Structure 1
Amino acid sequence: MSKQSLAPEIVDPIAFQDFRDAVSDYAPQLEQLVCQLGDGSRDTDKIAQLFRVLHSIKGDASLCQVHFIVPYVHALETLLDRIRQDELSYQDAVGDVLLLVSDQLVMLLDQMAAGGEADDHLLRSLLPGLDKLAEASAEELPQACAKLVGRMMGPMEPVSSVEPVVSGLGGHLFADLQFFRGLAMQFEQRVPEFAGRTERNLALAMEINRLAEKPLSMEQVAAAVYMHDIGMLLLPESLWLKAGRLSQDDRRQLAAHPGWAGGLLARMAGWEEAARMVLQHHEAQDGSGYPDGLKGVEICDGACLLALVDAFESVTLKHAHQGPRRAILRGVAELNASERQFHPGWLKLLNRVVRNRVEIRNMTGGR
């Protein structure tokens, strides 16, 4: 395969869209099969179906001239064929690789369809490992899978254990924090899927912040976590629960919610720092965010932290049906694949915290 053919380019726009539509059908099939195989049983029929899905994706990619997809899918197809032929045993780690690589490919296709710059550096870095994975022995397979998953999740570094964080908050601003938390609980209770969201976000933000060289104020971070989505309560529920693509008017309305919550905080004495965090938490490092299109150092540290925590909750919720461990894996892999949107320093600390959580979950037998 030539380097030219690996370049992510749209040769035929109509054929590219046909392929993207086909992948949108294949991806849920692949996810469902991996989920069904996750119980540890060897189901030869499902493994054969999984192989056929990969074979179909590769065939459609060639037919639609989306050539850069082919090497990645070919390596996975070769691995599945060896499992299908009983040369290797299927295991959860193989499913993790299949799902995570599939996610990266779908994200790259979405970037290209939106007209943005195609950022395929992570995928390119994975290809040698995928090729080795396809040729791995039974003994090498678990470690090879773990290495690939690790690349998609970011570097692992040791992190000390962190005690529960909520007990340390308060001081003379405690009453305000209780009020903010009450508002967050009201928002959370409007959506059953959000159950526990507030405390998860708070715990993750505090764990990451404690690892920072210059930690932010715990009270300000807590207030920002509690308040960052409160502006959504001023929007119609039909909008913030809407599935599928948003219209330009939908996006315009949603872009107003950080300003409403940030404005409320700014009017309360002592919460100016939290107000900036909330106002800027949908800004992106590359300038593609909202409401003001800020970039890089124009975005305050607290907003960079909050953006990561908010995005991690969103993507893990999307994959929650896969179980906690796999949802975490896919969530952090997606954030690392979108690193241009996030502050690299805070992203590195998120990787440390999440990798530590995964290791603890693995040691305790959690999925």
Structure 2
Amino acid sequence: MALPAPPNYDPNLLDDFMVEFEEAHEFSENTLVELEKHPADEELLHKLFRSVHTIKGNLTFIGFQILVPLLQSVEDILSAVRNEEFGFTREISDVVLLSLDRTKELIAELSGGDDSGTTESSLDHLSQLIASVATCDDKSREARLHSIILELDPSTLALSDPSTNQEDTHPELVHLDTSLGKIEKLLLAHQVTIDDDIAFFFSLMKPLEARSTYWSGRSFRLLLIALSMNHKAGNPINSTQLTTAVIMHDISMAFLPLDILHKSTVYNADERKIVQNHAISSHQLLKNMNRWAEAAEMVLQHHEHFDGMGYPEGLSDEHICHGAKVLAIIDAYDAITHERAHTSRVKRPFIRAVLEINSLSGSQFSPYWIEIFNSVIKMLHARGLV
């Protein structure tokens, strides 16, 4: 049974309400991005709390009281963080964002839109579950947050091995021989010939992905987005060179000690130097094969920033090749979405990852390629491919 019609709803107020809601929603999104960078910033936390509180008050004013407990539960978490009962985390950020998205979805339903499938009892259960985060013990809080994220967005469930998910087959490739692997079919669709060199690079993928639990299924995910972005832009990058760069760009990372590769805290100066050297080392391996000079350049530059603040050479916009700009975006997106999938099997919400990538447009990433990324990633997400 759908949510009951609100008895005091005033449709004449809806347009004004939605304008204010969209503004508060966007403000909250941007504040969450900044809070993840500065989780101890009391002013940012206060602004986020006030934004959520304003939305909650407006819901009451327009007659959507049935949605108030959901945002009250979010306030309960933020109040506990403000009172320093526990710290602000990325999981809390995701719960806040997804709760606002669910609120928006339910507003649409209550104002005459499609049935979301949410019942009054399921909404009460969700509100109570979110509110319980503020009072549960420290040991169970993270697991509680993960369960809430999954309930709010089931697509955040990470497969144990994404590379074996048969439902991810690219819709453009279904006519091809099903005995071919997903990556082979993807490359054929983008007219990339699988010759001896490409086959050799492929042979390295499985042991490379096995080196770190972060990397399972990563090669296909990156290739799908990279080749799709290039296609959307009119193929300004040689697809074969781009394919090689995607597969080989982090090969030297596999030779790092695991305690550095999997370190969850900030690198010290020596560790940072070791990690940053991987772009040069991977570049050198490809440079030794004369045919792959273009791919080698992409690999060398994939940690350069649009504003010149990257490494290893501090190049800026016009001095960074297009392939490296694409590789930088997709590498960061995959790292964001799969940063905790190896431990909790919960990926970061899609919209949260896209917001974080977009917040770096014009500084870390090329604005032109961010626009291409936005178009492609929304299409792939709508098809269930990312």
TM-score range, shorter chain: 0.5 to 0.7
Residue 344 (structure 1) aligned with residue 320 (structure 2): no
- Matching of residues 228-243 of structure 1 within 5 Å: 228-243=249-264
Deviates more, 1:75-84 or 1:308-317: 75-84
Residue 246 (structure 1) aligned with residue 267 (structure 2): yes
C-alpha distance in structure 1 between counterparts of 2:267 and 2:188, whole Å? 39
Indicate the residue corresponding to 2:307 in structure 1: 286
Q: How far apart are 1:195 and its partner, in Å?
A: 1.2
Indicate the residue corresponding to 2:331 in structure 1: 310
Amino acid corresponding to residue 74 of structure 1 in structure 2: R
Q: Is the 8 A contact 1:316 1:331 kept in 2?
A: yes
Q: How far apart are 1:309 and its partner, in Å?
A: 0.9
Q: Is the 8 A contact 2:241 2:295 kept in 1?
A: yes
Amino acid corresponding to residue 333 of structure 1 in structure 2: L
Indicate the residue corresponding to 1:76 in structure 2: 52
In the superposition, the TM-score normalised over structure 1's length comes to: 0.59
Identity percentage of aligned residues: 28
Cα–Cα, structure 1 residues 336 and 93, in superposed 2: closer, same or farther, change >3 Å?
A: farther
- Matching of residues 322-341 of structure 1 within 5 Å: 327-339=349-361, 340-341=363-364
Deviates more, 1:311-320 or 1:201-210: 311-320
C-alpha distance in structure 2 between counterparts of 1:310 and 1:204, whole Å? 10
Residue 357 (structure 1) aligned with residue 335 (structure 2): no
Q: SS at 1:318's partner residue?
A: coil
Q: How far apart are 1:218 and its partner, in Å?
A: 1.1
Amino acid corresponding to residue 296 of structure 2 in structure 1: A
Number of aligned positions between the proteins: 257
Amino acid corresponding to residue 73 of structure 1 in structure 2: F
In the superposition, the TM-score normalised over structure 2's length comes to: 0.57
CA deviations on 1:36-94 (whole Å, 9 max, x unpaired) are: xxxxxxxxxxxxxxxxxxxxxxxx83xxxx3x653443011333567799714379999
Residue 189 (structure 1) aligned with residue 210 (structure 2): yes
| Correspondent of 1:87 among 54, 62, 65 | 65
Indicate the residue corresponding to 2:240 in structure 1: 219
Indicate the residue corresponding to 1:270 in structure 2: 291
C-alpha distance in structure 2 between counterparts of 1:264 and 1:209, whole Å? 24
Q: Is the 8 A contact 2:337 2:349 kept in 1?
A: yes
C-alpha distance in structure 1 between counterparts of 2:218 and 2:251, whole Å? 13
C-alpha distance in structure 1 between counterparts of 2:56 and 2:109, whole Å? 13
Q: SS at 2:271's partner residue?
A: helix
Q: Is the 8 A contact 1:231 1:261 kept in 2?
A: yes
Q: Is the 8 A contact 1:184 1:230 kept in 2?
A: no
Q: SS at 2:333's partner residue?
A: helix
C-alpha distance in structure 2 between counterparts of 1:76 and 1:330, whole Å? 17
C-alpha distance in structure 1 between counterparts of 2:293 and 2:188, whole Å? 23
- Matching of residues 4-153 of structure 1 within 5 Å: 23=39, 61=42, 66=43, 70-80=46-56, 87-89=65-67, 139=110
Q: Is the 8 A contact 1:328 1:354 kept in 2?
A: no
Cα–Cα, structure 1 residues 82 and 201, in superposed 2: closer, same or farther, change >3 Å?
A: same
C-alpha distance in structure 2 between counterparts of 1:86 and 1:331, whole Å? 30
Q: Is the 8 A contact 1:93 1:142 kept in 2?
A: no
Q: SS at 2:383's partner residue?
A: helix
